[in-house]
Amino acid sequence: MKKKVLIVDDSLYMRSLILKSFQAAEEEYEVVGQAANGEQAIDLAMVLEPDLITLDNILPDMIGSDILEVFQAEELNAKVIMISAVGQESVIQDCLKLGASAYLVKPFTPEELLDTANKCLNDQITE
């Protein structure tokens, strides 16, 4: 059964790169939604119940940690891969403490994204 993916990024360019990465592994993944801000991300996550969410850390209306707190409060079962150009260790650790399964720093390759997604969904993240 394919894993459902929700892509959250305010950049259309980044959303399309992430989408293409998952489309390259279409036998394993199905992108079920895309969001450009935090409010859309939360609404779509609750309705679509994805297995995996790629979440940009800095959105126009919220930051990733705020969205992670909502996901925790709502007991959303999705694995979350944070994606950001911000690679500060303190930010990364905060997101992991709030329930993110992994943190990818831009730029990354499609292979890195898919490898991280596979590890998250198979609970093989060792961070």
> CATH number, domain at 74?
3.40.50.2300
Is residue 51 domain-resident?
yes
DSSP code, position 24: T
For residue 124, what pLDDT is reported? 73
For residue 78, what pLDDT is reported? 96
Confidence band for 86, pLDDT divided at 50, 70 and 90: confident
Is residue 121 domain-resident?
no
14: CB partners within 8 A, 6+ apart: 56, 83, 106
Is residue 111 domain-resident?
yes
Is residue 122 domain-resident?
no
For residue 34, what pLDDT is reported? 98
The total number of structural domains that make up the chain: 1
User: For residue 95, which phi and psi values (nearest 5 degrees)?
Assistant: -65, -40
Is residue 79 domain-resident?
yes
pTM of the model: 0.95
Is residue 103 domain-resident?
yes
Confidence band for 119, pLDDT divided at 50, 70 and 90: very high
Whose CA is closest to 67, among 77, 75, 57?
57
**pLDDT at position 28 over 80:** yes
Segments forming the whole domain that contains residue 89: 3-116
Is residue 53 domain-resident?
yes
User: For residue 31, which phi and psi values (nearest 5 degrees)?
Assistant: -80, 115
39: CB partners within 8 A, 6+ apart: 61, 62
Is residue 22 domain-resident?
yes
